[in-house]
Amino acid sequence: MKNMIEEFRNHFDDVVESVERYDIFVRGREFQEQSLALLRPLLNECRENKERAIKNSQEDAANAFLAFEYMAASLMEEFRFYLALKDDKVDQAWDHLINAESAAANAMKSHQVAAHLTNYIERLDALESLLFPKPAFFSTGWVVHRSECSICGVEYGECDHIKGRPYMGQLCARVVKEGTAKEVSVVSDPADKHCRAMHFSDDDKWRNAFTHRIVPPESVDHPPKSRTLEGRIS
């Protein structure tokens, strides 16, 4: 089984090495688009190998392929981040960068094959803090009435699975089936960096928090009111 993982790692590293030189903002967009096109089949191979390992009940291999899948997804999101920035789509660029960060963090949680990503994650963090102003992040306080374990489906806390740990090719999450939002607060270190103030009011106008461009009032989101939800806490 070790050989299967090692063999795939060599192939994975070869593909990553061939696109790494374009993994910098100033490279031509055509090379970054080509890199995405090369990574897409690699992501599929990771998924196929993971499915095969799950079918054969090979938990270590399933978790290793899950980590490879997250690593490929992270790199793809980084390329999409550069392309969105070049298209002047700053909000989308932010989302791609945050997705790249979370995928890399999930890869590290999944298996030792991704144990070397600390520097990569630091690099993504540096891009975030150098290229964007620090957003006002929101955190929502929930009263959870019912939640399930994503691995076995029983009431969360009633089984031995722990959120954020890998089980047969899946990271465990606490799936909230029923809850009520109690409050929305502004925080500096949120659980979800997608949850941020996208606009601010400037006299009678609304502006984009990143670009400062005026946005039409109908496109402005307001904080969520108390409501029931279905969501995941991972």
* Minimum distance, C-beta of residue 149 to Zn ion, in the bound complex (Å): 3
Question: In a 3-state reduction of DSSP, which class is residue 50?
Answer: helix
For 23, list phi and psi in degrees, rounded to 5. -85, 45
Between CA 50 and CA 145 the distance in angstroms is: 34
Amino acid identity at 30:
E
Between CA 89 and CA 209 the distance in angstroms is: 13
Between 151 and 173, name the residue whose CB sits nearer to Zn ion: 151
* Minimum distance, C-beta of residue 157 to Zn ion, in the bound complex (Å): 9
* Minimum distance, C-beta of residue 62 to Zn ion, in the bound complex (Å): 16
Contacting positions for Zn ion (CB under 5 A): 149, 151-152, 159, 161
Q: Are 232 and 174 in contact (CB under 8 A)?
A: yes
* Minimum distance, C-beta of residue 58 to Zn ion, in the bound complex (Å): 20
Between 159 and 184, name the residue whose CB sits nearer to Zn ion: 159
Between 35 and 147, name the residue whose CB sits nearer to Zn ion: 147
Between 160 and 203, name the residue whose CB sits nearer to Zn ion: 160
Contacts of 214 (CB under 8 A, 6+ apart): 205, 206, 207
Between CA 141 and CA 180 the distance in angstroms is: 9
